Structure 1
Amino acid sequence: MEYRHKTSRSPRKFKVVVSAKKVLFTVFWDKEGVVHMEFLEQGQTVNSERYISTLRALKLRLRRVRLDKDSILQHDHACPHASRQTQDALRQLELTTLPHPAYSPDLAPSDYYLFPQLKKYLKGHHYDNNEEVIADVHRWCRRQPSEFFADGLHQLVKHCRLCVDRDGDYVEK
């Protein structure tokens, strides 16, 4: 709502440049780089069934790209991650998870490190379709050196220490 004098002209409306719609994706990464990523089809949401399918694909990918290295997953308490079906699937797939306190986005490396960097890169770009966005995200991830990903995980240690020092209170930056 806008208040103005009766004789004032209407505000100018700017033409919006049409770009691709929002593209959602799930990404798993470690100190060496991106291990697995999946993009969500337009109009779909992540539920337990979808997340379990992603975990199965991740397990296969881990066998191929990380060979026999131990893997520990750290994810938040979003409903699909915390559901009984997902927890059963994690046990069945023998995927170890790092506990994550509820409502702690400051302890999710993708939230405080990877996604902000990716958003900074994508800002100002306009895409005609989702495939262009997906291709650009893949390109960006491949161009990041392993030091980039290692830095993100080193920051996790710092964030955890701050969280412990503050008795679990939220750590902004």
Structure 2
Amino acid sequence: MWVDGKGDRPVVLSPGFQSRKRMFTVFFNYSGLLVVYILPQETIMTTTYYVQNVLSQVKSAINEQRPKVSTSRTLLLHDNAGPYKARATTQSLRELEFKSCPTYSPDLAPCDFWLIQILKDRLAGRKFDRIQDLAKAVNSELRTIPEEDFQGVFRKRQIRLKRCIESHGEYFEGL
């Protein structure tokens, strides 16, 4: 949180506070869901962790789905988080033969303009006592999304890319 000299300082939680939030990293393609990776409790998504644990699962899932096709045509769309922009990550992406988009606008990221809202809508009001129950519900809901919806979101992304270019990168609404 950025504060100027005039604003209130943010509240700092006491040591030992445990957030109930968990990070899910979701990878999908035109055909549907590839990998849902749940960051283990008390783990931080660092560059090293991402490269060693997450990317290898993605590569395996793609190779399983398309055993005779190289990943060299696979484009990963990352957000602006440090671990995804780090030099070690970009080097690993090259070694694994992935392509990576440059940092993105939320208007162009399918997770931001489509997937997160689906999960919010479908899981609204449900409470989960264990992370395993939440993970099972998230996986279950993601797997019920029809292939046509995944294809549609990629078509819609193309429209969004065009609108972003036409608006010279300025914010736009209405898709």
- TM-score class, shorter-chain normalisation, is 0.7 to 0.9
Partner of 2:28: 29
Percent of residue pairs identical: 30
User: Which residue is 1:91 aligned to?
Assistant: 94
Matched AA of 1:137: V
Structure 2 Cα separation of the partners of residues 142 and 36 of structure 1: 11
Match of 2:25, SS state, is strand
Rounded to whole Å, the distance in 2 between the matches of 1:64 and 1:49 is 24
What value does the CA root-mean-square deviation take over the aligned residues?
A: 1.7
The match for 1:15 is none
Equivalent residue number for residue 147 of structure 1: 148
- Structure 1 runs not aligned, ≥5 long: 1-19
- The Cα offsets for residues 102-151 of structure 1, whole Å up to 9 and x where unpaired, read as xx111111111111111111111111211110001111111111011112
Query: Hey, what does 2:106 align to over in structure 1?
Result: 105
Larger Rg: 1
TM-score by length of 2: 0.80
Change over 3 Å in CA distance of 1:64–1:129 after alignment to 2: same
Matched pairs, number: 152
**Runs of at least 5 residues in structure 2 that lack an aligned partner in the other structure:** 1-18
List 4+ stretches of structure 1 deviating above 4 A: none
TM-score normalised by L of structure 1: 0.81
Shift of 1:57: 1.6
Counterpart Cα distance in 2 of 1:100 and 1:172 = 20
Equivalent pair of 1:159/1:171 in contact (CA under 8 Å):
no
